[in-house]
Chain A
Amino acid sequence: MDLRFRDAEPTAEERAAIDALLGGPESAWEGGARTEDDLRFAAHPAEDRRDQLLPALHAVNDRVGWISEGALDYICRRLTVPPAEAYSVATFYSLLSVEPRPPRVLHVCTDLACQARGADAVRRDVESHLGPAGTSWQPSPCLGLCERAPAALALQAGENPTATVYGPADFSDISSFDRLSPSAGQEEAGVRPASIEVSPEGTTARSAVAEVRQEVAGVHLAAPVPPEVGGVFGEVPVRAAVPQAGEPGLVLLRRVGVVDPASLDEYRAAGGYAALRRAFELGPGGVIREVLEAGLVGRGGAAFPTGRKWEATARQFDRPHYLVCNADESEPGTFKDRVLMEGDPYALVEAMTVAGYATGCARGYLYIRGEYPRAIRRLEHAIATARARGLLGEDILGQGFAFDIEIRRGAGAYICGEETAIFNSIEGYRGEPRSKPPFPVEKGLFGKPTVVNNVETLVNVLPILEGGAAAYAAVGTGGSTGTKLFCVSGTVRRPGIYELPFGATLGDLLTLAGGATGTLRAVLLGGAAGAFVRADELDIPLTFEGTRAAGATLGSGVILVLDDTVELPPFLLRIAEFFRDESCGQCVPCRVGTVRQEEALHRLSRRRSAGDLVVLREVGQAMRDASICGLGQTAWNAVESAIDRLGVFAEEAS
């Protein structure tokens, strides 16, 4: 490809960051210094490494904090990507910047769960200390720290990039922001390059103990950071997010907060890798049959039968097949996948291996959202350990099955959780959804048959294989089998991840979580793309069919509780703002429709008007009918249910 560059040069630091990822350039043809030899041979045929574009952009952004034109051009030379296209990709993601900015950027969550718990005050405090949003801080969509709302996340670029989690965030005294900034000494003690080094057994076994010793609510740097989560500060033990931790009867959460997430031995001692052994006994077809008979459906929101997806992928003649694990959990109020990944990372590694075996994949991509630094580091460590022990790689458990997992880090785009946008993002293109058909099982990642599953869906495969399909299907209801994770947040006494068998009611769950902190006003089910239910509808069964019958949705398992301290119109406005920000911009109904809906809601929160309600409805209908993907199709659901079910804006409209 004949590329044209302007004269920008990368700095030595930018070049080093990119070379650390891609290796040094082999010749002047791909960005190296020009020598006489380069004149004597033509370029090697450009190897297609477009999928390294997003990792390369991350590398620069992590090192310097932003991507200069020189850095972008050097990436383009290395990967043979046109600069205009690389720029278009870099400007798609909100964690990447093509404008100069300081190395430390604070992302202040202003999304639903945090808004219900005082995010506005946090935002005002930050603004008064750091000035207007834009460079040193920015408002952020849901950070997935909803049980610790209001939350914030500081990302510090540098040779050893670090992340600091604030939850609950309190910046009324700005020294709390400074105090948590990792000082040089802490960096030496805690930071280790996030890559891929198996820690010696002795240190990992003790790390959980050290972690549990950390104070849950106090200031968070008391104990040393365990090496496998080096560079992540301010975290509390994952156990704090799971009020049920250690209780008998848990299935998906049984190891979370109990078993050291860094130790493969403890994982195996707690029943790990029994499912993979069982899978090898059953053979790929047998595994798919079990999953079909268990009645497992996807937990990401769409509730598609997992076994049918696997079967359809396994049947494709076109090779290779790919597995993609969708860990781009970004639905506001959702944090179950983060807790699973942080608390039981080997379970996901094992489940992906089983899925790869059943569907004939030799490679799995694990796409984790960039806002989850601890989950990323835990999985990097778990994958490296599994690889070192022969549980990933060429010959897994001596069964002749080859499978490996590559982590891809998202960069701040809700839309990349859409099952085809995730392919474009991994391939190095803008994370825009593709038209379906063709469906992923036919033409997915790199145009090959691909199975895409959510983290929670995959982890469900383990109990199916361990106990058999019949035992699994015996739990829950006829239409919804097994157990479900619920992300309880908002104005509720004990927020966190709860696991319940399908069939429990919303009221049961709220009782378990200690009830609302004030008088219950409404519950948002399923996240920003879900629906509100009233305080008198707590008998809704939390099953796929039960919520559907009630005109709501289970979605990704969000249970966002709102008491009477939460004003609804600003809350609805935030939902509209979220979709306006996160629309990829590809199709007109969503790109312009989300803007028009936000404008109408702004007007409605000042003055009720029947005309604006009609605008909302008509635009909402067109978005639902004519948008390319699920984002636009569901963007109006929650606001519609607030108007129809809760009667918001009803009183004075005429």
Chain B
Amino acid sequence: MTVPLRPPRRLIEITVDGEAVRVPEGDTILDACAAAGKDIPTLCYGDTLTPKNACRVCVVEVEGARTLAPACSRKAEAGMVVGTATERAKHSRKVVLELLASSVDLSTTPRAAEWIDEYGADPARFGPDAATVAQPAKVDNELYVRDYAKCILCYKCVDACGDQWQNSFAIAVSGRGFDATISTEFDAPLTDSACVYCGNCVEVCPTGALSFKTEFDMREAGTWNEDEQTQTTTICSYCGVGCNLTLHVQENQIVKVTSPHDNPVTHGNLCIKGRFGFQHVQNVGASTDG
């Protein structure tokens, strides 16, 4: 795939954990850390979205700053001295993971368990009565499910639905503080909202709070098995745009559809047809009957 070249940018030098790193001007600390081979945990960061820096799990210590800085959004500045694994940074990451894991179901969040282990986080320390966001999953349509017991309020779905990608504005954050949730107006069901079922919110959800109905049902039934799934990237056949689809197939059935984020045209976004219109591929009985 041809990726258009970006205009050349001046290189600046910053120090990451004592090591000099040269990055193009305008890059974030996270980009610099990646260049230096550092693995910084991120949750609310999305490679196709403007950083919201809400989860604060990527915080690093910048020399001379009063507070820690979110690596995902803070721009690298020449001469900046960054510590990714200082005591303060590790402490904040540990506590953030504890706060999240004690209030939200992170069972389907990729790498959450690994980070909790790595930082020595103990979510149980807040006791059995610690408040959580537990609530029943919202199943109000045939295509995708909103299980807000798994929502860390990263704002990514809101941004993907709103002016960053889809411009549907079907959902927003409602309420305030710990009671805040992602919601349509007056908590109307999706079928009665501005949702166009592009599924671009599902594409960016970092925790599995938003998932294909197929995946949700298979998980409920205990038949979801990622190890047995294959992923095949192909081209959507519905129209002439040529969006790339990655078909996730388990036992010869398409179980969900994603799209490569590095596609220079669509950046991982699809429409309802590409995202959810895969039943006809496997609806063999119906076609022979017809």
Contacts and interface: CB of A to CB of B under 8 A. Distances in A.
B126 A615 contact: yes
B169 A84 contact: yes
Contact of A88 (B88, B126, B152, B172): B172
A437 B73 CA distance: 10
Nearest to B75: A437
B184 to A, nearest CB: 5
Contacts of A84: 169-172, 183-185, 193-194
A603 B127 contact: yes
A584 B179 CA distance: 10
- What size tier do the contact residues of chain A reach? 35 or more
A624 interface: yes
A625 B91 contact: yes
Given A72-B185, A87-B172, A626-B56, A593 B99 contact: yes
A586 B54 contact: yes
A580 interface: yes
Contacts of B127: 599, 603
B177 A585 contact: yes
Interface string A1-41: 11110100000000000000000000000000000000000
B95 A618 contact: yes
A60 to B, nearest CB: 14
Interface in B130-180: 130-131, 152-153, 155, 162, 167, 169-180
A46 interface: no
Contact of B169 (A82, A430, A618): A82
Contacts of A626: 56, 59, 67-68, 92, 95-96
Most buried by B among A91, A618, A628: A91
Interface in A589-647: 589, 591-596, 599-600, 603, 611, 615, 618-619, 621-622, 624-628, 633
B152 to A, nearest CB: 7
A425 interface: no
B177 A4 contact: no
B153 A591 contact: yes
A595 B178 contact: yes
B55 interface: yes
B183 A628 contact: no
A94 B264 CA distance: 44
Contacts of A82: 162, 169-170, 172, 194
A585 B130 CA distance: 17
Interface in B6-63: 53-57, 59
Contacts of A584: 176-177
Contact of B153 (A94, A585, A599, A603): A585
B125 interface: yes
Nearest to A593: B99
A589 B130 contact: no
Interface of A: 1-4, 6, 69, 72, 82-88, 91-92, 94, 98, 413, 430, 435, 437, 580-589, 591-596, 599-600, 603, 611, 615, 618-619, 621-622, 624-628, 633
Interface of B: 53-57, 59, 67-68, 70, 73, 75, 88, 91-92, 94-96, 99-100, 102-103, 125-127, 129-131, 152-153, 155, 162, 167, 169-180, 183-186, 188, 192-194
Given A84-B171, A592-B102, A625-B68, 6 more contacts: A88-B173, A91-B175, A585-B153, A596-B102, A622-B95, A626-B67
